[in-house]
Structure formats: C-alpha cells, structure tokens
Amino acid sequence: MKEGPDIAQIGALIGDPARANMLAALSGGKALTATELAAVGGITLQTASTHLAKLEAGGLLTQRKQGRHRYFTLADEATALLIESMMGFAASRGHLRHRPGPKEPALRKARICYDHLAGDYGVRMLDSLVASGAIDAIGEGLSVTPKGESRLQCIGIDVSCLKSSRRPLCRSCLDWSERRAHLAGSLGKALLSTFFDKGWARRAAGSRSVIFSPEGEKQFLSLFPLEA
C-alpha cells in the first residue's frame, strides 16, 4: 500500500482541459459564476457544474452564495501559487496553447495573480526590492529587512501590521510569462492594493491585465528601477 500525499488525484483534477481553463480564469482573483466558468471552459453549464463539484471536493475551489447566485473562487493562495507555478513550468517546456493577440503584451507587462502583481512589473518589483536591500532572498525564502520596513512605510505599508496575519508575509511565486519569481504573500497583496488606492493602476475590464496611468508608471519605475 502506497503512503503519503496523493499527487495523482490533484494532477487528475487539474489535468482536464476544461477544469484547467476554469482554474486559470480564477487565478485572476475574481469570483466567477458557474455560467461564466462554463463559457471559459467551452462546456455546457451542466458539465461545468459537475467539474466545479469535483474541484471543490478536491480542495481547489470554494464557493459562496449571494442571493440566487453562487460564486466560485480558488480555495486559497496556495492553490493560486500551484496554478501559476504549473503555468510557468508548462511555458518553460514549450507547452503553450494560446495565440498571440492584443491582450498578450499587456498581460506580460503587468497582471493580477490571485491578489498580487505578476508579469514583467511583478518580477521587476521583487528584483528591485532585493537589490535595494529591502528584502533578503535566501534560496526560495524571502524576508523583509528593517531597511525594507522603513522604505515600505514611506509608501503607506505597515509591515508590522502585516506580520500579525497568519498569512505568510513574503512568498516567492513563479511567474509563468517571465519564468522567474514575483512577490506573493500579504506584502505582495498590500503593494498591489496600494497601487490601486493611489490611482497609479487599475484592473482592465474583463482581463487580468493591470494598466498603469502615466503618473502611476512614473512612480512605479522610480520605486522599482531594476529591470526584470
């Protein structure tokens, strides 16, 4: 009898093309209905409901009800990191199934990965924080330095408050387009929220793309000058 984690079960859940498409759509952090996810998966609503039930039973999705509607999201950040990492691994092996289009440059530049910044700008941000000494990178581990706490305080982020959360402060997340790490965790979320709150950036309608305003781009590049 085999013992230990059953990765075959998780692999089977993610391996179905329709379910993979739905999980990828949810990695943008938005809650979606079964009807919306059926359209993403290219399947009927009845078939989508069956797939969603399997994903929920497997611990990959969660749902909440609001009025007559049910909304689905990824179960947690760990699920989002798994999906993004698998996308990065697939891209690095040449397993690409998208066709280049108008959205591709914007997605590669800056996009939402669950609740933090990904793409070229996401990698640039982490690289700059590490290069400036704000974050220490030891292997795959990341930690905010005292210098980093002071620097982040200047843009309105209270690191001591974030540390009180049970969620990890800093996590490394493999970026599928850049194939390098960007910043996840409560700090990654706080930084993206700050960009939105300051009006530096906004989420593109119907897309995972993050669009920076001219002023927002200027401020971002000043704060994070190291190119990915």
**pLDDT tens column, 118-131:** 999 999 999 999 99
Contacts of 197 (CB under 8 A, 6+ apart): none
- Report the 3 state secondary structure along the chain: CCCCCCHHHHHHHHHCHHHHHHHHHHCCCCCEEHHHHHHHHCCCHHHHHHHHHHHHHCCCEEEEEECCEEEEEECCHHHHHHHHHHHHHHHHCCCCCCCCCCHHHHHHHCEEECCEEECHHHHHHHHHHHHCCCEEEECCEEEECHHHHHHHHCCCCCHHHHHCCCCCCCEEEECCCCCCEEEEHHHHHHHHHHHHHCCCEEECCCCCEEEECHHHHHHHHHHCCCCC
Write out pLDDT tens, residues 127-149: 999 999 999 998 778 999 999 99
Distance from C-alpha of 91 to C-alpha of 105, rounded to nearest angstrom = 16
- pLDDT recorded at residue 66: 84
Write out pLDDT tens, residues 36-81: 999 999 999 999 999 999 999 999 999 998 888 889 999 998 898 8
- pLDDT recorded at residue 103: 64
Mean pLDDT of 190-217: 95
Torsion, Cα 31 75 82 189, to 10 degrees, reads 60
Whether 97 has a pLDDT exceeding 70, the answer reads: no
- pLDDT recorded at residue 93: 82
Q: Work out the mean pLDDT of the chain and round it to a whole number.
A: 90
Task: Kindly calculate the radius of gyration of the chain based on its CA atoms and give it in whole angstroms.
Answer: 18
CATH class as words, domain 7-75: mainly alpha
Per-range mean pLDDT, top range of 97-101, 161-165, 175-179: 161-165
Domain ranges of the chain: 7-75, 100-223
> Regarding predicted confidence, which is higher, 89 or 155?
155
- pLDDT recorded at residue 197: 97
Tokens coding 33 = 């209905």
Residue 99's pLDDT band (cuts 50, 70, 90):
low
Q: Which amino acid is at 160?
A: S
Residue 85's pLDDT band (cuts 50, 70, 90):
confident
